[in-house]
Amino acid sequence: MSEYNSKAKEIVILGGGFAGLWAAKEFGKKEGYNVTVVDRNNYHLFQPLLYQVASAGLEPEQISYPLRGTFRKMLNIEFRMAEITGVDLDKKVLHSDVGAIPYDGLIIALGSVTNFFGIEGAEEYAFSLKSAEEAIDIRNHILSCFEYAQHETDPEIRKELLTFTIVGGGPTGVEYAGALSELVNTSLHRDFRGLNKEDVKIMLIEGENGPLNGYPDSLRNYAKRRLEKLGVHGWYHQHVTKVEADKVTLKKGITIPTRTVLWTAGIRGNKVAEHMGVPLGHSNRIITTPTLQLENHPEVLVAGDLALPMDGDTPLIGPTVAPNAIQQGAHSAKNLMKYFEGEELKPFSYFDKGSLATIGRSSAVVHLGKLKITGFFAWITWLIIHLLYLIGFRNRVIVFINWAFEYLFFERGVRLIMPKTKDTVPQGKVDEYSTESTEGEALNERSSST
């Protein structure tokens, strides 16, 4: 039972992702505040490992943790499962599907959604990877493609089924390309004896001259070579202009026949922000002061992917990664407490702890200050850091066991086509194949705060 203090300030934190969770932890250390964390899901999702759910390596519950369990020992923190529909900044009231939620101070940490940049057909036909449901949909779809291709007699359709296109060569795109290649070359190669590995094509489309733009050149070149070794076809200096059910069209008129498009090319602020009456900037992100406050409502702060701090006309954008969200979440909580206690607020400054990405088995790139590591030791570093940040001791143990099993036996254990939230029949095949599944509701967009 929470210790409710009737004289304490009522604080609401929107979102249970990295920013919201770390903001709540700061308030959990301090008396004088009643805090309510609001999220549409009752769990925190560890998004950096979501691609492993989509590539049959992990189950979503292994990288998720109940928010109520997280706050169990923080007696001034409450959780409320609700979907926010708007906010009245003047009256300090949130509107939600469970009614009005008043506040004295507010931290908005609703995260981001996939940015399709208005590309024709992308939102309709491409998969995004921002929620557990979407990861399961991708896994279902990939495995379904192999099931149908096993008995497909038309070589053109079979080619489309076995061509997998990933748009965006950032860490998520690179990590998923590596994981998918390993899935194809190990478990699926043994499961589907009628298919040749050479029939499967994995395409990575990136507008820059190689993967991992923003990393040091030596690490980018290593990633490029590693992807080539895994059989990933890099299409660099290329931009997608159109996505259809059975093909992708590039800027120069080149078409790639494919039934699978995974979009990891960018993010934008959660669409809920459009209904809040707050100032929005680039990519639908909420404009704040350097202290993460709304300019005309200093009791409202924004943290994580949704925040766009501005110093005059200069954006102070940090990377849209978990460490930035964690730091902004903690900083916004400290600043909100300073605001109520009459102290001077501090501008946010991102402390770069480094960047890292894994590229398949025993291979990764790590950039920590002047230190640049590749290969096996970088991969071990990647494993340790992700296990440490994963919420829940049980989750850490289970994920470690899964990784050890996969490493020792070259086997992915979650090759299951589960009940669907939408059709997993490969795009364009719904009328040609008979299925007994019940049609599910269309996917709702989920924020990174889940």
The pair phi, psi for residue 180, each rounded to 5°, is -65, -40
In the block, residue with structure tokens 């996939």: 114
Q: In what order do the strands lie in the sheet with 314-315?
A: 286-288, 307-311, 314-315
Q: Residue 402's closest CA among 59, 19, 11, 114?
A: 59
Q: How many angstroms separate the CA atoms of 423 and 384, rounded?
A: 36
Q: Which residues contact 48 (CB under 8 A, 6 or more apart)?
A: 322, 386, 389
Q: How many angstroms separate the CA atoms of 324 and 318, rounded?
A: 7
Q: Are 109 and 27 in contact (CB under 8 A)?
A: no
User: For this structure, is 120 an active site residue?
Assistant: no
Residue 447, helix vs strand vs coil = coil
Q: Which amino acid is at 346?
A: K
Q: Which amino acid is at 216?
A: P
Q: Which two tokens stand for residue 418?
A: 């589960």
* DSSP annotation of 353: -
Catalytic residue among 175, 206, 299, 406: 175
Q: Which two tokens stand for residue 43?
A: 């769990």
- Quote the strand ranges of 134-285, DSSP E: 163-167, 201-206, 232-236, 240-243, 247-250, 255-257, 260-263, 267-269
Residue 184, helix vs strand vs coil = helix
Cα 346–Cα 352–Cα 353 angle in degrees, nearest 5:
120
- Active-site residue numbers? 175
